């Protein structure tokens, strides 16, 4: 049960990263590699503030703002200086590496003895279970695990709801249209460049927020924690698309969250089944490949069946 709750909790936390990647990659078709740096940036800002006694909520919001600033830089590099998408992301990600070291003052900050959102989650879990631990269908469940899952689910639900409401406003619709049909949206007098900058701000803000939550959940921030995160974010978005199969905002957001949770569940199952550690990345790559190919194969089978 611990493994299940933990996989769900990390999946939900990283679904914020996936939502960020969804905005940059699916809305703007912008492979924004800044995410690798901004997730650590969020963790670094939150961890640094927490160790200085700042409230966890304030620290997490500051992490979101820091991520927005990183996205703003990438957006400006791309739209104002005409630097290639990939390169502008690489530049900001590279710069963030040094900035993160400066923010933390060292390469790793432990958060085990400071009050974090996990502390509140544990209190919430105690309130829910009545004790430090409880038994659910025979499985032992700790108050912290239960509380962390409930809190992260609540946070993700609220953020996904805000994102869905935003995508249904005029501004949100214009943002989605900027990615879908640039010429049309220009003809309507909307600045595509400004939309990209705004989109990257929100995207990296969400990614950094995910970093802040992950650091508080795991109990430390580390300068290397962002390595490869963009790949997992992209994988979750692709899996989410394969699950829901539609491009409507609500379904896409739901699919992205489900994709992230499913991805972490698969990793947890692989670990629980005693997978050779050397094969971990191969298995995840095969899983993402399957998510990419299966919908296409199913479509072909359906078409074939309909034709015959």
Partner 1 sequence: MLNAFRRVALGIAVVAAASLILLLSDLQHRERAGRLAIAKHKWKLYFVQYNDVIDVKDAEAGVIKGLHESGLVDGRDYQIKILNAQGDMATVSALIDAAVTGGADMLITFSTPTLQAALRRAQNVPVVYNYVSSGLKAGAGKSNTDHAPNVTGVSLLPANDEALALIKANFPSIHRLGTLYCPAETNMVNAKIALDESAKRAGFEVVYVPAETATDVPNAAAALMSHDIDAVLQIPGNLTASAFGSIGEAARSSHLPVFAFQKSQAIGGAMVVVARDYKDSGRHAAFLAARIMRGENPKKIPLEDFAGTSLIVNLDAARALNITLPPPLVRSAKEIIGETSGNR
Which stretches does DSSP call E strand in the chain? 108-110, 133-136, 139-142, 220-222
Contact pattern for partner 1 over residues 66 through 105, marking x by CB under 8 A: -------------------------------x---x----
Other CB atoms within 10 Å distance of the CB of residue 226: 27
Considering beta carbons, is residue 6 or 191 the nearer one to partner 1?
6
Contact pattern for partner 1 over residues 136 through 155, marking x by CB under 8 A: -xxxx---------------
Exactly one of 254, 288, 303, 305 binds partner 1 (CB under 8 A); which one?
Answer: 254
Contact 45, 63 (CB under 8 A): yes
Contact 236, 128 (CB under 8 A): no
Task: Tell me: does residue 255 bind partner 1 (CB under 8 A).
Answer: yes
Given the rule CB under 8 A, which of 25-33, 82-90, 175-183, 219-227 is the region that contacts partner 1?
219-227
Contact pattern for partner 1 over residues 268 through 297, marking x by CB under 8 A: xx-xxxx--xx-xx----------------
The beta-carbon contacts of 177-184 under 8 Å, at least 24 apart in sequence, are: 178/27, 178/28, 179/26, 179/27, 179/28, 179/29
Contact 67, 38 (CB under 8 A): yes
DSSP state of 278: G
Task: Tell me: does residue 186 bind partner 1 (CB under 8 A).
Answer: no
Tell me the sheet residues that pair with 142.
Answer: 133
Contact 57, 42 (CB under 8 A): no
Nearest to 91 by CA among 68, 75, 107: 75
For the CB of residue 194, give the shortest distance to partner 1 in the complex, in Å.
30
Task: Tell me: does residue 250 bind partner 1 (CB under 8 A).
Answer: yes
Task: Tell me: does residue 8 bind partner 1 (CB under 8 A).
Answer: yes
For the CB of residue 160, give the shortest distance to partner 1 in the complex, in Å.
13
Return residues touching partner 1 (CB under 8 A). 1-4, 6-8, 10, 14, 97, 101, 106-108, 110-113, 118, 135, 137-140, 214, 217-220, 222-229, 232, 240, 243-246, 248, 250-251, 254-255, 258, 261-262, 264-269, 271-274, 277-278, 280-281
């Amino acid at each position: 049960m611990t493994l299940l709750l933990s996989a769900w909790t990390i999946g939900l936390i990283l679904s914020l990263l996936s939502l960020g990647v969804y905005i940059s990659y699916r809305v703007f078709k912008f492979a924004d590699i800044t995410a690798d740096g901004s997730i650590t940036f969020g963790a670094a800002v939150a961890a640094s503030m927490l160790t200085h006694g700042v409230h966890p909520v304030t620290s997490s919001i500051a992490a979101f703002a820091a991520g927005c600033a990183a996205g703003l830089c990438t957006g400006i590099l791309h739209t104002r200086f005409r630097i290639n998408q990939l390169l502008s992301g690489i530049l900001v990600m590279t710069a963030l590496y040094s900035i993160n070291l400066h923010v933390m003052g060292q390469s790793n900050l432990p958060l085990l003895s400071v009050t974090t959102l996990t502390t509140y989650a544990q209190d919430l879990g105690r309130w829910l279970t009545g004790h430090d631990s409880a038994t659910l269908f025979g499985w032992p469940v700790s108050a912290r695990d239960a509380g962390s899952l409930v809190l992260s689910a609540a946070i993700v639900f609220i953020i996904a709801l805000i994102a869905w409401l935003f995508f249904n406003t005029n501004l949100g619709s214009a943002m989605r249209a900027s990615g879908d049909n640039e010429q049309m949206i220009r003809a309507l007098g909307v600045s595509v460049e400004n939309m990209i900058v705004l989109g990257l701000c929100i995207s990296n803000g969400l990614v950094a927020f995910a970093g802040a939550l992950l650091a508080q959940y795991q109990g430390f921030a580390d300068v290397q924690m962002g390595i490869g995160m963009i790949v997992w974010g992209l994988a979750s978005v692709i899996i989410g698309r394969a699950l829901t199969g539609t491009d409507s905002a609500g379904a896409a957001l739901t699919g992205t969250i489900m994709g992230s949770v499913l991805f972490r569940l698969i990793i947890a199952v692989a670990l629980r089944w005693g997978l050779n550690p050397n094969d971990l990345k191969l298995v995840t790559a095969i899983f993402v490949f399957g998510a990419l190919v299966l919908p296409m194969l199913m479509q072909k089978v359906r078409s074939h069946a309909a034709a015959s």
